[in-house]
Structure 1
Amino acid sequence: MELVQRNIRLIVAYDGTELNGYQSQQNGITVQDCLESALSLVCNEPISIYGASRTDAGVHAQFQVVTFFTTGRIPVENLTRALIAHLPPYIVIRGAEEIPLDWKPRWNIVGKEYVYTIHNDIIEDPLTMRYHWHVKKPLCHESILQGACLLEGTHDFTTLQGANSTPANPVKTIFAVTPRFEGKTLRIHVVGDGFLYHMVRNIAGLLVDVGLGRIEAASIPELLARRDRRCIGKTAPAQGLCLEEIFFDEVRRSAVLKSLGR
């Protein structure tokens, strides 16, 4: 029987605590390594995956997207269940579908949403500490809201780029930076057309400094204009960050922005 190549897209979620990031590397367990190993067993052939986004060590994802080619004959509707036995419990497949052979994830992205979570209380919450940054001192909500608005729009975000970054166009469009306060929890929703290395974590760190009174919200445009990472404070820790969704059509992106009041 003639082998027929197929292109399959997976929606992947993971707790990044035990992972050394998304991309395969020499040291540590990565999402790519785990997925390629499991898929190779299930499809009975060597599999390479192509991801829509890279996440750092310790960063989580609700909606990572990967694709892979296979000549294996397993029905796509059986993949989610078949992979359970071959993946660690902190990586799950939330959906699988067959797509056109010429569909590539990075060519079709129209935006991403990240959520950064902060637990703002003098006492830590041990039940959620794997998924937030614990900030003990009280944050000024009004200052954070003011600062968030000034980060929206199209800017050169070199100031918010992590050290040792791969060269990339620093001009990005941020559609929304929406802080939501729920008791002792602050969630910062960030939606943009693209992000620099450590950019969302640096946004979170900057807004915390604003909320603590270390930086004036009104100074944010000037800080961006400096294009100098050294003029802001520390990068927020990885465990508070989650890749919430990747958008492949503007309708879905618009729906999320509407839910965020944009």
Structure 2
Amino acid sequence: MKLHCYNRLVRASLLLNSLACQVEREQKKVLGDLEIVEVMCTFIQTKLKNKVCDELLKGFSDKGELLRNMMDLMANIAEVQKLWQNLMNEEYVTVFTIFLESKKDGIEVRYNAAGVLSHLLSDGEEAWRVESPNRDEVIWRIVQAIQRWPLESQRNINYRSFGPILNLVRCFRSHASQYWAVWALCNLTKVYPDKYIKLLKEEGGLEILRKVMRDPRPITAIQELAKQVIDRVQMPVEASEEIND
């Protein structure tokens, strides 16, 4: 009987996880109102306490997949401005900064760590409350990390909107945040042009990048990446197909 109930719980949990990954913002809010997240967190805490690793809880700290999934979720959280104050503490910022050097799972962990920090940095100097690592150090380490990422990196990611990224493209208060956002657009439109060039056009990203190109404030690396994206989007379809072949 206990095994039967457990199996039903596992199936229900996996279904909820799949549902949460697919539904839109308002539908996700409904899941939140039902306190499903709180129930699942309690369930996971119990498993961690008992050191149980199964198909529901996919690994522990030495598992690259778990780390990637956790950072995917943290990246989603960091897109919500009112939650930034909850992430702005020394413990979190230190961990995210360390993850900039992670070698697990391609660049996904590094990319998401940089994304989380980029959102926090975008709030300006006055909002940065962490003494160590300080804001200048975090900016420097993000820039150094991005410079090592191959633009051809394959991604395990699915953007339905570029809204949060485009907000950072407009961010002149933190060149690290702007650098991360423009790199993301350059990578996604290069590796997955069929999907993301269309999305970028639909959301007005081309004009935002043109404004970045006309502005004297961005660093050279940002200007160069922005130009790559603009050129790629404006490229005739025939030429684009020849390059992809």
Settle same-fold status: TM greater than 0.5: no
Which structure has the highest strand share of the two? 1
More helix by proportion, 1 or 2?
Answer: 2
